[in-house]
Structure 1
Amino acid sequence: MSTPSTAEAVPPRQRPILLTPAVLRLWTGTTASGLATWALPFLLGLAVVDGTLSATGLGIVLATRTVGFLVAVPISGVLADRYSRRGTVLWAGIAAGAATPVMFLGLGRSVALMAVAAVVVGAGQGACRPAFQALTAEIVAPERRQAVNAAMSLAVRLTTFIAPGLAVLLGLLMGVEAMLLGTALLWLCAGLLPPPGLSPTPTGPRPPTSLLTEFADGVREARRHPWFLAGLAALTAVITTGYSATSVALPIVSRDEYGTEVVLAAALAGYTAGGLLGAVLIARWRPSAQGWAALAALAGYGFAPLALLLPVHPVLVVAAYVLAGLGIELFNVPWFTATQREVEPTKLARVSSLDFLLSYGLAPIGLALIAPAIATFGATAVLLVCAAICFLAPAFAALAPGARRFSAPPPPNTPTASIHVATRR
């Protein structure tokens, strides 16, 4: 019997996924969009400090940007599935990049002009999100998507940590106007850098359908996956209550209970550190019951409102925020990966848009309601309810069919070979 050669016995070493040109371009484009998104509020804040923009004007501009985001998310999900994910990202980046200089023209002159431009910028931001999710599934092989999604999440966390301080520093050195133009260039990079994918959109004549009808098709696709609906409900509940409560209550508790803003700063830094750790960990961790592990990690967010509720040492408050950031990433990455794997490819952008529309779209409502709730019922009652929801919502979601692995169970009496063939297709 002949001995196989070394070349035959040792498989070729795979290039690190982030060093492949297509993934590197996708990651860079996603990071550029994140930097532009997170830098803008802080640049406008500097404009308030130097008197160029009023506090009321800042609120109007940021509110209209949110409106643009919420309107564009479902529409872009339909367009990305109907035409091209790459094309949707391109036009979203171009639109946001073109609208940002218009905000510069309105700065100190017309809040109305800035608000109109902010709607377009928000629409570009919203249009990118589901299209990027679907484009990742087109470009990256299934077995490597979790690592890429973890790298994307790592970029998001680094962006939220770096972008505010960098924007403020460069804004002070170069001026708000120059930095606004810089964010326009970031949006253009976000639109131009990502490579084209292998679009699963069927070719040939299509019957004329409305945007609403096609979005409804995406909702029906989401309903085919009970684990997705249950997980989305849990995520929305945690963000709407836990995230909103901790965002509003943390500055109050830091000031009133500990008498220093250091706890506020340390807790926020701890949340970011936890997110970074979670993204690094989940890049390689593959628990057998991945869905249950992700939902258990999401429930860890409940420790943040609980720590603000109890008279504990400040170190425990920071540790609770580390757990919250860790848990969000240990949930997000498997969640995105499972959605890319399980959802019908031609409807992936629409299902992703439903995800962002609910989980992120309802967050401003939670932020708006938490402060009046604390004023009416007291911080103790509100934080207790929010902590309970954070713990219970993922627990109930874990009971949904397919939640154990974020995957629909195979039909009964289905031969194993058939399952494998279907998976490879």
Structure 2
Amino acid sequence: MPIPSATSTAAQSPADKQRTILLDLAFLRLWTGATASGLATWALPFVLGLAVFDRTLAATDLGLLLAARTVGFLAAVPVAGVLADRYSRRGVVLWAGLAAGTSAPVIATGLDRSVLLMAAAAAVAGAGQGACRPAYQALTAEVVDEGRRQQANAAMTLAVRVTTLVGPSLAALLAVFLDTRALLIGIGLLWLAAAFVPGPGKRPPAAQDAPGASAGPARTSLLTEFAEGVREARRHPWFVAGLGALTAVIATGYSATGVALPLVSRDEYGTEVVLAGAMTAYTAGALGGALVIARWRPRSPGRAALAGLAAYGFAPLSLVFPVHPVVVMAAYAVAGVGIELFNVPWFTAAQREVAPDKLARVSSLDFLLSYGLAPVGLAVIAPAIDAFGATPVLAGCAIVCFAAPAAAALVPSTRTFSHRPTCDDTP
């Protein structure tokens, strides 16, 4: 059984439950650090893109740097999950932020000098980004009591969406006054804020005494401890089913957005307005979805979340037929709403159901499979479109997006994202 956080939900007054989570100083510090890390994560490829525009970086070199960052991210996620469960989640955030923060000025130093130096620094930056993800996820469970975690997770995802929405305009404005090197130094400062601003977590003491907990004088290998996290994940059928659906949707729907949408915008509509409008509509929809799910408590949260995940299928589906651009933008807005209707209950359920001493490892498995396999979809979809045409590939992506969550919903425990029976499950 998961161990409740130090502040019992039952002990909260109704006023405490309604009070906005951002008035909690401990969470506000955590939220600020996570926001800084999210902005820095988004900003790096954008600023490097500006360097290509300024001809201080070649397009092929940009691809190399982004690939190095992805490799660093994927390598760090499972290791960070183990370390965050073995030691301190706060400590992992600190060192990850410091690593990513120091890599930014190294990338700046390598501009026009050494692509290999920049690639090595980009890999370190990716490692810092990857290490932060499971640590922040587990740290949220330490800082926030169970009754307000859904609100907290919604606030976290709101921060991500806002930075995505306003970030391009802000970076473009700063680029008028600052060169690429100065912008990279600014990214390093954001990572330092992510490292130092969050306060210490409040891990439940009993988590360290739970059977199979990592704490203790005898240490096993990182691989063995990560395997313990995999076994913990397999103990929750709803998690395995949901992760499979999420991975399938991201590998197909996200790939359609990343590769097919620009092609369709150019070839079918003859303007980049459709691309920009669809991406803006997606972000705006995600903001709306996060605001809704911060307060909404559906009767069957797992089924509602999977329905939201399936809504991503409307994005590739809108590219199959010759429709008005407004229809494409509306489809992407629906996809944005749906993805947050899934994300927030998904994170909240993991924080509630997974053993506290294995939460970071299970979270790292989540990020490793769902987002780690996304580059595979991106690499495959363009050759598939060349070989079979855009229409059948996009139709296939849409079918997968609809079918994978529907298949996951057949697992009984996905109804509530919990292995514990509800009143409706008892005869």
TM-score by length of 1: 0.92
**CA apart distance, 1:72:** 0.2
1:43 and 1:168 in contact (8 A); partners too? no
Q: How does 1:12-411 map to 2 (within 5 A)?
A: 13-14=15-16, 15-200=19-204, 202=208, 205-410=216-421
**CA apart distance, 1:199:** 2.3
SS at match of 1:406: coil
**CA apart distance, 1:166:** 1.6
**CA apart distance, 1:224:** 0.3
In the alignment, the residues of structure 1 paired with residue 167 and residue 64 of structure 2 have an alpha-carbon distance, to the nearest angstrom, of 22
| 1:24-70 superposed Cα distances (whole Å, 9 cap, x missing partner) | 10100000001101111111111111121111111111110010000
In the alignment, the residues of structure 1 paired with residue 216 and residue 132 of structure 2 have an alpha-carbon distance, to the nearest angstrom, of 27
| 1:303-342 superposed Cα distances (whole Å, 9 cap, x missing partner) | 1111100122211111100011111000000000000000
In the alignment, the residues of structure 2 paired with residue 216 and residue 205 of structure 1 have an alpha-carbon distance, to the nearest angstrom, of 18
In the alignment, the residues of structure 2 paired with residue 12 and residue 249 of structure 1 have an alpha-carbon distance, to the nearest angstrom, of 48
In the alignment, the residues of structure 2 paired with residue 410 and residue 82 of structure 1 have an alpha-carbon distance, to the nearest angstrom, of 31
TM-score by length of 2: 0.92
| 1:363-419 superposed Cα distances (whole Å, 9 cap, x missing partner) | 11111110000000110110111000000000000011310000003499x99xxxx
In the alignment, the residues of structure 1 paired with residue 315 and residue 120 of structure 2 have an alpha-carbon distance, to the nearest angstrom, of 37
Amino acid at match of 2:275: L
**CA apart distance, 1:214:** 0.1
Amino acid at match of 2:159: A
In the alignment, the residues of structure 2 paired with residue 143 and residue 205 of structure 1 have an alpha-carbon distance, to the nearest angstrom, of 30
In the alignment, the residues of structure 2 paired with residue 287 and residue 249 of structure 1 have an alpha-carbon distance, to the nearest angstrom, of 34
In the alignment, the residues of structure 1 paired with residue 191 and residue 148 of structure 2 have an alpha-carbon distance, to the nearest angstrom, of 27
In the alignment, the residues of structure 2 paired with residue 401 and residue 345 of structure 1 have an alpha-carbon distance, to the nearest angstrom, of 24
| 1:101-153 superposed Cα distances (whole Å, 9 cap, x missing partner) | 11111011000000010111000000000000000000000000000100000
1:306 and 1:387 in contact (8 A); partners too? yes
Amino acid at match of 2:220: T
Structure 2 portions without partners, runs of 5+: 1-12, 210-214
Change (3 A) 1:12 1:245: closer
Amino acid at match of 1:238: V
**CA apart distance, 1:12:** 7.7
**CA apart distance, 1:255:** 1.9
**CA apart distance, 1:168:** 2.7
**CA apart distance, 1:265:** 1.2
Structure 1 portions without partners, runs of 5+: 1-10, 416-425
| 1:246-280 superposed Cα distances (whole Å, 9 cap, x missing partner) | 32111121222222221111111110111000000
**CA apart distance, 1:100:** 1.0
| 1:172-201 superposed Cα distances (whole Å, 9 cap, x missing partner) | 311111111111010011011111112245
In the alignment, the residues of structure 2 paired with residue 190 and residue 285 of structure 1 have an alpha-carbon distance, to the nearest angstrom, of 30
| 1:277-317 superposed Cα distances (whole Å, 9 cap, x missing partner) | 00000000000100000001110111111110012221111
**CA apart distance, 1:164:** 2.6
**CA apart distance, 1:169:** 2.2
**CA apart distance, 1:16:** 2.3
Amino acid at match of 1:370: I
Amino acid at match of 2:401: C
Change (3 A) 1:411 1:301: closer
**CA apart distance, 1:165:** 2.7
Amino acid at match of 2:386: A
In the alignment, the residues of structure 1 paired with residue 111 and residue 103 of structure 2 have an alpha-carbon distance, to the nearest angstrom, of 13
**CA apart distance, 1:230:** 0.4
- Name which one, 1 or 2, has greater alpha-carbon Rg: 1
In the alignment, the residues of structure 2 paired with residue 347 and residue 167 of structure 1 have an alpha-carbon distance, to the nearest angstrom, of 38
Question: Which deviates the most, 182-191 or 167-176?
Answer: 167-176
In the alignment, the residues of structure 2 paired with residue 255 and residue 54 of structure 1 have an alpha-carbon distance, to the nearest angstrom, of 23
Count of aligned positions: 404
Q: What's the counterpart of residue 4 of structure 2?
A: none
1:31 and 1:156 in contact (8 A); partners too? yes
In the alignment, the residues of structure 2 paired with residue 77 and residue 337 of structure 1 have an alpha-carbon distance, to the nearest angstrom, of 17
1:85 and 1:199 in contact (8 A); partners too? no
